[in-house]
Amino acid sequence: MESFFARLGERYRYSLVLLKELVRTDFKLRYEGSVLGMVWSALKPLMLFAVMYVVFVHFLKFGAGIPHFAVALLLGMVLWTFFAEAVGQGMRAIVDRGDILRKISIPKYVVVISTTMSALINLGINLIVVLIFAFFNGVEFSWSLLLLIPLILELFAFSIAVSFLLSALFVKFRDIAPIWDVFAQALFYATPIFYPLSMVIGQAGSATGEFIAKMILMSPLAQIIQDARNVAIYPTETVWGVFRNPFFALLPIIFVLIITAVSVLYFRRASKRFTELI
């Protein structure tokens, strides 16, 4: 077993060193010339949260009567911001580093993963802010908070999978960028970020609302965000509670595994022609 891991480490040592340098360089360049620097990592989602809170919670009364809904809103915004940032940068990673790829033969997948890792660092900073905000908001923490770790890993895997697929397509079809922007905007409103899922069930009626809730929770993003709120903040509707059949409850995770396999295979096949197209 030790020899297996030793051979594995030797095989990917160059990729790991390269990944480390790319992440470090990307993180430095991101805040170069900025007065606040890394503070923007936490300030940007907080500013967006403030706008969402004033409009949807204060004026439209979304989440009225739900304890700690402001914390749930902030957590949802932080997780969504990571996904949007990781995929948005990952999609353009190959094209943006075209000059390097034409001059040096490096593993193409490392370039995409490095942008996702940079977004993951921002996510770590933002989650600390969420925990501090939750503490002062009176949220009672328990050992279930540790279940955030597998949920973050699922979100990270899903983000990388989508990034691989879109980055390979973007090299050949630049129209992918505006199409993805529209799709991501639609996905944002289809995900229970600024509104509770209970509101969907209540306003649409019991049977219809439950069906719509099931369709919403088929999205891995909705499943991850609802599960994260359930383990970290308060009991809420999750895919495990809405679906009585365990198979259907596992469908979002199965979807992540399928899109990961398809994206990796397509990326490996398409990467052979990247240097010719960029």
pLDDT tens string 117-155: 888 888 988 898 888 888 888 888 888 889 999 999 999
Residues of the chain falling short of pLDDT 50:
4-5, 8
Domain enclosing residue 225, as ranges: 17-277
State pLDDT tens for residues 237-274. 888 878 877 888 889 999 999 999 999 999 999 888 88
Q: Would you say residue 10 lies in a domain? A: no
Q: Would you say residue 273 lies in a domain? A: yes
What integer pLDDT is reported at residue 14 of this predicted model?
A: 65
What integer pLDDT is reported at residue 37 of this predicted model?
A: 57
**String of DSSP letters for 13-64:** HHHHHHHHHHHHHHHHHHTTT-SSTTHHHHHHHHHHHHHHIIIIIIIS-TTT
What integer pLDDT is reported at residue 203 of this predicted model?
A: 67
Q: Would you say residue 3 lies in a domain? A: no
Q: Would you say residue 211 lies in a domain? A: yes
What integer pLDDT is reported at residue 276 of this predicted model?
A: 75
Q: Would you say residue 12 lies in a domain? A: no
What is the DSSP-derived secondary structure letter of residue 141? P
Are residues 107 and 272 in contact, defined by beta-carbon separation less than 8 angstroms?
Answer: no
What integer pLDDT is reported at residue 5 of this predicted model?
A: 44
Q: Would you say residue 1 lies in a domain? A: no
Q: Which two tokens stand for residue 63?
A: 């989440």
Question: What's the alpha-carbon Rg for the chain, to the nearest Å?
Answer: 20
0.85 exceeded by pTM: yes
The number of domains in the chain is 1
Supply φ then ψ for residue 9, to 5 degrees: -65, -40
**Residues whose CB falls within 8 Å of the CB of residue 153, separated by 6 or more in sequence, listed in order:** none
Q: How far is the C-alpha of 42 from the C-alpha of 128, rounded, in Å?
A: 9
Q: How far is the C-alpha of 109 from the C-alpha of 97, rounded, in Å?
A: 12
